[in-house]
Chains A and B, each alone.
Chain A
């Protein structure tokens, strides 16, 4: 469970979140500039809130009162950006193993082979990121984050740079990650269909506030689960 109760103030921008996120995959919808990326940054440890607390499964990641701010590299929270952000000087193999080698042997949950198989990136292993297509880069970025065995996976509009065909392909992989690897996810996007496909519950974020979408809201009531089942 991710317990959020914090404030980020940057100039005119004000982000205030006070929610407990319980579901395996939580979707957050909203327009660009609404504070979605800042929220992920605060959870990942890249953005330091002015005040409040952030807890993941009972572990305090941030607490302004007791001056606790666990740095990003000690949080074990994976983050996948819109455009992959692979390390351009390393091969796909070494990109995949970058975080994997940073964790103790006993804490490694997945093997390189299993992740490579799941994401179907075997033929790419010796290539450099710049020679990969957008979809391939994004799959490698996902694989790299999974191999790091994160306690939580943050996805910051991971599909927005891809065309429709690739979106569906990666969404299918994400669903498999959710089902087979059981890594909780916080999925940020402005595409309703992605959230409908993947998320167990959905929030919207507008001008720095998070609002839970109820079953009566258009996104939730469009019968998307049924449609999925029948497809």
Chain B
């Protein structure tokens, strides 16, 4: 059915997507909570910066990542010299590129999840002797969990579709950074690549469709759980 190269692209996409989801989870949750619950000077500025990757052409963050994390970049050189970690043009770079582009989705999902929680429930928990940290763990986090899960699925789905930032920062290296979208791009440039492109496109469609379906089902379930939606 699928050639080795196609399997490779599929497996790499799943790996990059999973890692991108994992690394954006905690920072995204924290940023979402910050935007939902805290008032501070410069909040609109922070908000604009956090959501920039959503509106920029992905090649722009991709190029900026290259400038920062490339072997000549400030952070890239520091990581290489101190930790022997190289990001540009390998799969870890693809993770960073995907996570950067998909990060706003995590922030937005976490923010909505936290905003949906009535602050008086948290106040009630505080007046029952729970410290702010305990309130966070026993009230805020469990109630936001379904929304956070939706965010994680959105990040994963977006990572699967990431193209511009990945090809700019991590390149199009078969078996290393050639994820599904990049493999489709390469296939369409081959004379006999039509069938291959079609197969990969079908996989992408299926992946994306079922991710969105799952996230919608989770969202409904979460709303029922929180008592927002009945039956």
Contact = CB atoms under 8 A, between A and B. Distances in A.
A102 to B, nearest CB: 3
A99 B129 contact: yes
Contacts of A227: none
Contact of B227 (A71, A88, A103, A145): A88
Nearest to B117: A88
Interface string B114-149: 000010110111111111101100110011000000
B129 A148 contact: yes
B127 A78 contact: yes
In order of increasing CB-CB distance, the 8 nearest A-B pairs are A99-B128, A102-B129, A130-B227, A79-B127, A72-B126, A85-B124, A85-B120, A73-B126
B226 interface: yes
Given A129-B227, A130-B227, A87 B125 contact: yes
Contacts of A79: 123-124, 127
Contacts of B138: 87, 98
8 contacts: A46-B127, A71-B131, A85-B124, A87-B121, A88-B143, A99-B130, A144-B128, A154-B127
B207 interface: no
A89 interface: yes
Given A73-B129, A102-B129, A88 B121 contact: yes
Given A85-B118, A89-B225, A73 B130 contact: yes
Given A73-B126, A73-B130, A103-B129, A81 B120 contact: yes
A148 B227 contact: no
Contacts of A98: 125, 128, 130, 138
A77 interface: yes
Contacts of B142: 89
A46 B126 contact: yes
A76 interface: yes
Given A87-B138, A88-B227, A89-B226, 5 more contacts: A44-B127, A85-B124, A87-B124, A99-B129, A154-B127
A79 to B, nearest CB: 4
A44 B135 CA distance: 16
Contacts of B123: 44, 46, 72, 79, 85
A73 B143 contact: no
Nearest to B123: A46
A44 B132 CA distance: 15
A45 B134 CA distance: 17
B128 A77 contact: no
A88 B125 contact: no
Contacts of A81: 120, 124
Interface in B212-231: 225-227
B202 to A, nearest CB: 39
Interface in A106-143: 129-130, 141
